[in-house]
Amino acid sequence: MKRRHFLISAASIAAGVTIMPRMAFGAEGVIDVYFTSDQNVIDFWTNVVKPKFEAAHAGITLNLVDGGDGPGVAAIGDRALAALASGTDPQADLFEGYDTRVNAGAIDKGLFVDFSAAGLSNYSKVNPLANDIPTRLAYRGSQVLLAYDTTKLDPAAVPKTWADLVTWIKANPGQFIYNRPNKGGSGGNFVRRAVLEANGKDPKKFTVDNFTPEFAEEALTPAFAILNDLAPSLFEGGAYTSGNTQSLQLLGQSAVTMIPAWSDQALSAIAQGVLPETTGLVQLQDLGLPGGFTYIAVLSNGANKDSAILLADFLLTEEIQSAVLTELGGFPGVAWDYVSADLRERFADIIPASIPTFPGGKWETALNDGWYRAVAPNVDPAS
Amino acid sequence: MTTTDAGALAPAPTQRKRPIGLLLVAAPVLLVLWLIIWPIISAVIQTLWLPTSDGGRALSVSSYEFFANDPYSRANLAITLWTTGVCAIFLLLICLPIALYLRFSNSKIAAYVQGLAIFPMFVPSIILSFAFIRVLGPNGTVDLLLNSVGLPKIKSPYLTPWGPVIGLVWDNIPLTVLILLSGLGNVSNQAIEAARDVGAGRLMLFWHIILPRISNSILVAISFAVLGIFSAFTLPYVLGPAAPEMMGPFMQRTFRDLFDPTNAITQAVITFGFCILFGLFYVRSVAKNRTP
């Protein structure tokens, strides 16, 4: 009998689960925000963005949901796409740290709000370098630095230019590792820096619109040659970690001496003891390692679409953009002219205004796949 | 031709004709058709019925041709086959002795060994991956222990093709041991004792008495493990080298990073083609088992 009872209750629970989503609706006046970013970003929203926005817009509240990672929120995006087709409520309004391209066909079907036509009062302030496609809105950025072990490398002898870095890596084989460019971004921006090195250190040479397969071939091939030249001197003669965290772990285990790392992640790792206090941070002075922007997307079929657009506009105000600098340790999504003058001055030394950026979109795809095909297999050019 | 000979099954009792049995089976069968068979068919169609330059769609094998002519994709398939094969061999070498020990030992320690052998089943692979880096990774626990007694460090398997092999073997031990153990249940103590009485040594016993009776279980265990390993994602992704990649991470990257569903589905169909071969082994051995 017990078994039968169990079966019946299990079946009713299963039936209940399949019916449940039909009864849930996105609540009116509650913006559902899904995050792909790490906990420190969600904390920033909880402590800064949420109270400020709710104070400025009475009657609207934010529901902050940790979506885990890119694929986690992409699944919510797929659900929203299905909801668009059936005309139902997607129960989501805004995605943080999102690439709207991941949901195949979603942009064409109009799943995401086109920010260029959404009437944002602050839209013109967005850093022109951050402009990707109009369904993505940059609201913050981060930079990649070099993190190193000061017990093994004297801070006075740290390489400060790309040429010095290459010399150092070759003189200390096995002491440097960067992660795969499509995973986590700290290694990705190291690869981008190599691309800039191979192309006259001129970030302006690359824009979202000037991608052609021929130009990519011409620009990326010498960069991959630089990286292949480094490969034998890397950890294990050319190994690449599969994420930012794994690189930090190798540095923490003293298996390597230097890694590229996100500034905010390295700082919190040091604060939490994941990295020892003897960890040093340095940025290249001839041209920094590029940074990246983090984008938001608003669903066009969300129940609170208009409130979500208000929130998107609010994120670009000087108040929030300054907080990105002071509270989050990132850098603003708007052009530096729209940050208060005293902050601009205060951060001039730590975060130079010239942090190079590299376009996403097709450039990113070409760079990542090209790296996997040309650099990762460690092919011996002589063979 | 209604004459029945002695070997045929007795006619089914009338009770069996009730449709309840069929109805009970219908739900899972329909679910399988809807959630598994249909997506497979639709995936195959999607990779063969490709968009053409003039906006229409036409029958084409170009995505398969690309895969076959692309050395990078072929290297990924090769490393997947290599990893799967090596894992299968190691699983057999490790799990068969454990299963034999558990079957024939009466000691108290056997219970602990069994618990230890089943333990990996309860460890999520992402936790296993990071634990692996801590223990077997560079300057990990093993290195520290070796160092403390003055021995040189090991050459870490982390970020080499051996990383996923070690992780996947560890992860698949419980299932393999359990299946082999159930197969060893078919080996009767009397048969063993009889063979011993006529002077069979341990090896003879294993080769002539035990192995023929569990060959089916070995086939089932290996095909189960192989099916899981072939499409593994987390362990090869975290522990393996950047290139060549196993098919799991390769498919995911093609789909999510390169936004290229057609090639990702092509890779999936090819992976499925290999898996179905191992699946056939399993189905065949189950069917063989059923025949009286």
Q: Which domains does chain A have, with CATH numbers?
A: 28-140+293-346 (3.40.190.10), 142-292+361-374 (3.40.190.10)
* Burial of residue B166, with CB atoms counted within 10 A of its CB: 0-12 exposed, 13-18 middle, 19 or more buried: middle
Q: Where along chain B do its domains lie?
A: 74-121+161-290
Sign of the C-alpha dihedral computed for residues B48, B51, B57 and B60 taken in this order: negative
* CA dist., res. A59 & res. A51, Å (int): 12
| Chain B contact present for A231, CB below 8 A | no
Output the pTM of the full model.
Answer: 0.76
Q: Which of B159, B234, B250, B251 to mutate to test the interface with A (most CBs of A within 10 A)?
A: B159
CA-nearest of B56, B239, B61 to B133 is: B239
The residue written with tokens 């984008």 in the block is: A295
CA-nearest of A314, A313, A332, A312 to A324 is: A332
State the pairing for strand pair A30-35/A61-66.
parallel
Amino acid identity for residue B155 in this structure: K
Helices (H), B34-70: 38-48, 62-69
Paired tokens of A349: 């030394």
Of B238, B244, B261, Cβ closest to residue A242? B238
Phi, psi dihedrals of residue B285, rounded to the nearest 5° = -70, -35
Partners of residue A298 on adjacent β-strands: A94
Query: Distance, in angstroms, between B171 CA and closest chain A CA?
Result: 20
Name every chain B residue with its beta carbon within 8 A of the beta carbon of A101: 259
pLDDT digits (tens, 9 = 90+) for A205-259: 887 778 899 999 999 999 999 999 999 999 988 889 988 888 998 999 889 999 9
A280 sits in which H/E element: strand A279-282
Amino acid identity for residue A362 in this structure: K
Sign of the C-alpha dihedral computed for residues A87, A92, A94 and A97 taken in this order: negative
Q: pLDDT 10s digit of each residue in chain B, 292 long?
A: 444 444 455 555 555 567 888 888 998 999 999 999 999 999 999 899 888 878 778 888 889 999 999 999 999 999 999 999 999 999 999 999 999 999 888 888 988 999 999 999 899 988 999 899 889 888 889 988 998 998 888 888 888 899 999 999 999 999 999 999 999 988 888 888 888 888 888 888 888 888 888 888 898 899 889 888 998 999 999 999 988 899 999 998 898 788 788 999 999 999 999 999 888 878 887 787 765 5
What would the CATH number be for the domain defined by B74-121+161-290? 1.10.3720.10
- Crossing angle of helices B211-230/B162-184, nearest 10°? 140
Question: Is the Cβ pair A236, B237 closer than 8 Å?
Answer: no
